[in-house]
Amino acid sequence: MTPLTGETALVTGASRGIGAGIADELVALGAFVVGTATSGSAVDALARRLGDAGAAYRYDAYDWSTGEALLAALAGSDRMPAILVNNAAINRDTLLMRMKDSDWSEVIDTNLTGVFKLTRGCLRAMVKARHGRIINLTSIVGATGNSGQANYAAAKAGLIGFGKSLAREVASRGITVNCVSPGFIDTDMTRALTEQQCEALTTQIPMGRLGSPVDVAKCVAFLASNDAAYITGQTLHVNGGMLMY
């Protein structure tokens, strides 16, 4: 894969799970990785993990004041990203009849509106440089739906439409916009499932196993590289065959 030496990559939600895997993969390819987390302790741990290969900042998409502070810090340090990986997300799962307005708005504001605001904030520098890679992490449930996740699925499906529209706007400026859609990945969230739940889940996956953060990170790294310079407006599904197009 083409190295990313000299590139600055911003990865939101980089302190654990898929985001941590993506950050580590981009560092391995030579990028300077700016990672974000929502709590001070997580930011500190992330900064230690990245070391001289990156930097860590607090960012909570639901509290846009932290987004403004992040963008100001990046501009002030001459680290506006050429690679933006919108990974940070939350869930507030419950059946629609029980879903509170706040369950809906917090998920939409964080998982969709936050991506819009941060992407807009990073876009001007990419347009000026006539080079950029924007990669949005969506989800298999954005394509299939899932009981109890109407808010989460709506936000993740929205990212696909957002990405396709933006891809058309900025392609002539040398900027690509793509989505990576993970299936069920071995993270803290899936480790909370019971053994019986995991077994029922894996029977739906032709490969017979959950994915790993590395499986997703490799796909993100490819789309971030010059190897994918002619790919835009696409969604790459990483689900072990659970959903096929």
Give the CB-side neighbour count of residue 204, counting CA atoms within 13 A.
11
Strand positions, DSSP E, the chain: 8-11, 32-37, 54-58, 83-86, 132-137, 175-182, 235-238
The interaxial angle of helices 17-28 and 40-50, nearest 10 deg, is 30
Tokens 């605001």 found at: 117
Helix axes of 150-170 and 114-129: crossing angle, nearest 10 degrees: 20
147: left (phi over 0), alpha (psi -120 to 50) or beta: beta
d(CA 223, CA 175): 11
Q: What is the DSSP string of 51-105?
A: GGGEEEEE--TTSHHHHHHHHHHHHHTT---SEEEE---------GGG--HHHHH
Provide the annotated active-site residues.
152
Distances (CA, A) of 76 to 43, 69, 118, 144, 159: 19, 10, 16, 42, 29
In the chain, count H helices and then E strands.
10, 7
